[in-house]
């Protein structure tokens, strides 16, 4: 299976150098992080530069992660905020189309605290936003995907409500096993529910306490279940990792390391280890798909 990794792997490295090193590590695809300023895809010149970089390296674009910010909220009850969030996400969809990518991944909401009485109305607003965005995505030849979020934050409650309410077959899922496993004894059940709609993956690991974005097999995510669920549901997309040396380095610098975090290494060594993990996961998915 094709393998990819998100530029979240190291946002301290300029996009040109990072993409070339991802290609050198043997990945077939690259995905762009939530930070448009790093990839500069928000401008026509920036998109042209990225197109040239992809052509130069032979990499294909898998997905673009829609921007994240405190005010971006597709489920917002404030109409101006919701409209602005839709337009920001459309920019990612347009860029993905121009760069011949597969999908845009978005968070339904980014709020960590939401009053319970607002959850249902926010879910309805999110469905309105996603219906508009999925139509825009179809018109531009790409997929609109939402990802599962950590249950430790209320945005996950809105996301789960949206997933239960979805009737639009043009809205797909991005499976994030790291998010699913954080303080959640029902992670496998959540991913089983998602698996038939999964078109993109954010594969990284955790010890179950925090959003660590470790290389797969460095934590305690149940990778056997992940690969079985994906394979049994016919997943044939890119085995795309969202592990992050950058986040690990930031935690070390802030003296805020997560439990059993490995020490940072060189980017090339990290990418080589990530590529091996992606290859192993792809082999297991293929076996499950062909069983």
Compute the average pLDDT of residues 242-263: 96
Residue 275: domain span:
3-290
Confidence at residue 49, expressed as pLDDT on a 0 to 100 scale: 96
Residue-wise pLDDT for 197-227, tens only, equals 999 999 999 999 999 999 999 999 999 999 9
User: Is residue 245 predicted with pLDDT exceeding 90?
Assistant: yes
CATH number at residue 23: 3.20.20.150
Q: Nearest Cα to 235, choosing from 187, 271, 203, 211? A: 203
pLDDT band at 60 (very low <50, low <70, confident <90, very high): very high
Q: What is the dihedral of CA 276, 272, 195, 139, to 10 degrees?
A: -130
Residue-wise pLDDT for 160-190, tens only, equals 999 999 999 999 999 999 999 999 999 999 9
SS3 205: strand
Q: Name the domain count of the chain.
A: 1
CB neighbours of 32 closer than 8 A, spacing ≥ 6?
6, 7, 38, 39, 41, 61, 63, 64, 65
Compute the average pLDDT of residues 66-81: 96
Residue listed under structure tokens 């197109």: 51
* b/e 99-128 (16+ beta carbons within 10 angstroms → b): bebbbbbbbbbbbeebeeeebeebbebbbe
Confidence at residue 70, expressed as pLDDT on a 0 to 100 scale: 87
Confidence at residue 209, expressed as pLDDT on a 0 to 100 scale: 93
Compute the average pLDDT of residues 112-127: 95
CB neighbours of 142 closer than 8 A, spacing ≥ 6?
93, 96, 97, 101, 102, 103, 104
Q: Nearest Cα to 32, choosing from 55, 10, 6? A: 6
Average pLDDT taken over every residue of the chain: 97
Share of the chain above pLDDT 90, in %: 98
């Amino acid at each position: 299976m094709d393998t990819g990794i998100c530029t979240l792997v190291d946002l301290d490295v300029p996009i040109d150098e990072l993409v070339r090193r991802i290609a050198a590590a043997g990945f077939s695809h690259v995905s762009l992080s939530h930070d448009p300023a790093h990839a500069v895809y928000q401008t026509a010149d920036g998109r042209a530069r990225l197109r040239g970089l992809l052509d130069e390296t032979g990499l294909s674009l898998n997905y673009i992660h829609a921007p994240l910010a405190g005010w971006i909220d597709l489920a917002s009850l404030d109409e101006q905020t919701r409209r602005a969030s839709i337009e920001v996400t459309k920019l990612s969809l347009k860029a993905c189309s121009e760069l011949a990518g597969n999908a845009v991944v978005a968070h339904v909401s980014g709020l960590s605290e939401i009053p319970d009485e607002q959850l249902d109305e926010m879910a309805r607003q999110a469905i309105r936003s996603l219906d508009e965005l999925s139509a825009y995505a179809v018109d531009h030849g790409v997929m609109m995907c939402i990802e599962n979020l950590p249950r430790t934050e209320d945005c996950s409650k809105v996301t789960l409500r949206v997933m239960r309410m979805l009737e639009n077959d043009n809205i797909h899922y991005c499976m994030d096993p790291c998010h699913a496993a954080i303080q959640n004894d029902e992670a496998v059940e959540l991913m089983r529910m998602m698996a038939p709609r999964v078109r993109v993956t954010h594969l990284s690991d955790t010890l179950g306490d925090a959003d660590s974005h470790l290389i797969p097999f460095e934590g305690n995510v149940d990778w056997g279940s992940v690969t079985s669920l994906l394979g049994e549901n016919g997943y044939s997309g890119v085995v795309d990792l969202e592990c992050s040396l950058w986040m690990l380095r930031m935690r070390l610098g802030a003296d805020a390391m997560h439990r059993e975090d490995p020490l940072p290494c060189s980017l090339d060594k990290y990418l080589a280890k990530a590529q091996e993990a992606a290859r192993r996961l792809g082999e297991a998915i293929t076996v499950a798909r062909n069983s």
